[in-house]
């Protein structure tokens, strides 16, 4: 050619013949030569496995995912393999086929770019959009503290106040027989099984996911070893949790929990009513903290002054220490305790000693 040798090929000049820049590596139009080579190998692998081929591969990457009727929370764990992340996306119903996403992430070297954290998927996303989502920053987390000994309604109020949804939306889940059955909870409800802890979720996390996390936390703490201890005491899991809720409600002192558990278990063995004031408060309408003598004699399903044995279910959500105390009571013969007014109690083995302790405390308080 006049004027010098042949011009360099278009690919070497960094643009297509006729003008326009080459597609960036993250867009499956006509990728640069190195990525085209990797993509071709990936597409051949798909074809060899009965897959889609190059054209179908590109269509699949752009095709919107399945419908998302409610937000789906996807968690990427630190160090998790990308193939496992993609499989989890498919398992949660936001990705039709994980293999094309895995191949594309690998050929574009994005398979190690997923950030660990939680992502909320609120609409159908194509595999490319999902890849951009999980290689971007995770959703910000908002914390809520659930203290020990709170009732189910207290917990719902805390979650609502933290901005995770209305009290009604949480109660709707907690009263759903499907939810209770799937979580293997008593038909009467989840009281006692919403484990007290500090939790962190994106604000748009579905209420059901939050509650499932709390129940799972309970299961993490109330281990098979604790279940065996409960069985050795003649208690079912539900009875052990119920007893733990009484322990939690009676004393804030760690050193007293096993003593309180022993008192209740000793009374159960002897057929003596438990006579726990917190059960009266729980069973009463309104549940304010003022207790009258008339309340002690007013029969309710939870009033352990008027019913034999344990109440039908937990009266609060106990923490780890109370759960452990309920199945590992102190080796004592105490049958009574009375509050000293400073958060501690005086324990007695006989009614005479108990009455003397009560009389002494009354004199001191005067």
Residue 49 falls within a domain, yes or no?
A: yes
Residue 168 falls within a domain, yes or no?
A: yes
Q: Are 45 and 107 in contact (CB under 8 A)?
A: no
Domain boundary pick from 134, 166, 192: 134
Q: pLDDT tens digits for 152-210?
A: 999 999 999 999 999 999 999 999 999 999 999 999 999 999 999 999 998 888 999 99
Residue 15 falls within a domain, yes or no?
A: no
Q: Which string of DSSP letters, residue by residue, matches 112-167?
A: T-PPSEEEEE-S---HHHHHHHHTSPPPPPEEEE--TT--HHHHHHHHHHTTS--H
212 & 187 share domain: yes
172 & 292 share domain: no
Number of separate domains in the chain: 3
Residue 187 sits at the vertex; the CA angle it makes with 326 and 303, to the nearest 5 degrees, is: 55
pLDDT grade, residue 119 (50/70/90)?
Answer: confident
Residue 1 falls within a domain, yes or no?
A: no
263 & 342 share domain: yes
302 & 341 share domain: yes
250 & 360 share domain: yes
In Å, how far are 232, 248, 329, 330 from 264, measured between CA atoms? Answer: 16, 12, 9, 11
273 & 157 share domain: no
| Lowest mean pLDDT segment, chosen from 37-41, 82-86, 292-296 | 37-41
* The pLDDT value given to residue 288: 65
272 & 252 share domain: yes
256 & 355 share domain: yes
Residue 226 falls within a domain, yes or no?
A: no
**Average pLDDT of span 138-161:** 94
**Average pLDDT of span 211-237:** 97
Q: Is 94 helix (H, G, I), strand (E, B) or coil?
A: coil
Residue 279 falls within a domain, yes or no?
A: yes
What is the gyration radius of the CA atoms in the chain, in angstroms?
31
Q: What residues make up the domain containing 94?
A: 33-134
238 & 353 share domain: yes
pLDDT grade, residue 24 (50/70/90)?
Answer: very low
Residue 227 falls within a domain, yes or no?
A: no
In Å, how far are 36, 48, 62, 75, 87 from 130, measured between CA atoms? Answer: 21, 25, 10, 13, 13
Q: Which residue has the tokens 């006509």?
A: 30
Residue 338 falls within a domain, yes or no?
A: yes
How far is 165 from 160, CA to CA, in rounded Å? 5
Domain boundary pick from 118, 134, 150: 134
216 & 238 share domain: no
Contact residues for 52 (Cβ-Cβ < 8 A; gap 6+): 43, 46, 59, 60, 100
Q: Which residue has the tokens 């770019």?
A: 113
- Which among 79, 133, 69, 123 has a CA at the least distance from the CA of 101? 133
Q: Are 135 and 113 in contact (CB under 8 A)?
A: yes
122 & 38 share domain: yes
* Greatest pairwise CA separation for the chain in angstroms: 121
99 & 147 share domain: no
Q: What is the pTM of this model?
A: 0.73
Q: How many percent of the chain have pLDDT more than 90?
A: 57
Domain boundary pick from 134, 164, 190: 134
> CB count, 10 Å around CB of 278?
21
- Which among 153, 98, 141 has a CA at the least distance from the CA of 116? 141
- Please determine, for residue 354, whether its predicted confidence score (pLDDT) is greater than 70: yes
* The pLDDT value given to residue 55: 67
Residue 116 sits at the vertex; the CA angle it makes with 114 and 117, to the nearest 5 degrees, is: 125
> CB count, 10 Å around CB of 318?
33
**Average pLDDT of span 269-290:** 87
């Amino acid at each position: 050619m006049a004027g010098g040798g042949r011009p360099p090929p278009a690919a070497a000049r960094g643009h297509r013949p006729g003008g326009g820049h080459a597609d960036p590596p993250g867009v499956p139009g006509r990728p640069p030569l190195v990525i085209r080579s990797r993509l071709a190998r990936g597409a051949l692998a798909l074809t060899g496995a009965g897959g889609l081929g190059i054209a179908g591969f590109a269509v699949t990457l752009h095709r919107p995912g399945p419908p998302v009727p409610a937000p789906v929370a996807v968690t990427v764990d630190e160090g998790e393999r990308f193939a496992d992340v993609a499989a989890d996306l498919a398992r949660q119903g936001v990705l039709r086929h994980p293999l094309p996403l895995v191949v594309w992430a690998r050929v574009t070297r994005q398979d190690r770019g997923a950030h660990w954290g939680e992502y909320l998927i609120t609409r159908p996303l194509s595999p490319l959009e999902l890849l951009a989502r999980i290689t971007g920053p995770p959703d910000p987390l908002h914390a809520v503290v659930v203290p020990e000994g709170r009732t189910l309604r207290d917990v719902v109020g805390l979650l609502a106040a933290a901005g995770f949804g209305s009290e009604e939306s949480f109660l709707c889940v907690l009263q759903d027989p499907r939810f209770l059955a799937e979580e293997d909870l008593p038909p009467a409800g989840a009281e006692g099984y919403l484990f007290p802890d500090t939790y962190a979720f994106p604000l748009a996390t579905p209420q059901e996911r939050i509650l499932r996390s709390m129940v799972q936390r309970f299961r993490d703490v109330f281990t098979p070893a604790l279940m065996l201890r409960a069985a050795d005491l003649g208690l079912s899991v539900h009875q052990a949790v119920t007893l733990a809720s009484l322990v939690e409600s009676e004393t804030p002192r760690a050193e007293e929990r096993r003593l309180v558990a022993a008192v209740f278990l000793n009374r159960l063995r002897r057929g003596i009513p438990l006579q726990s004031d917190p059960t009266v408060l729980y069973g009463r309408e309104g549940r304010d903290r003022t207790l009258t003598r008339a309340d002690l004699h007013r029969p309710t399903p939870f009033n352990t002054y008027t019913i034999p044995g344990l109440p039908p279910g937990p009266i609060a959500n106990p923490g780890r220490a109370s759960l452990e105390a309920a199945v590992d009571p102190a080796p004592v013969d105490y049958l009574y305790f009375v509050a000293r007014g400073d958060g501690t109690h005086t324990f007695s083995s006989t009614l005479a000693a108990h009455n003397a302790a009560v009389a002494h405390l009354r004199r001191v308080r005067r």
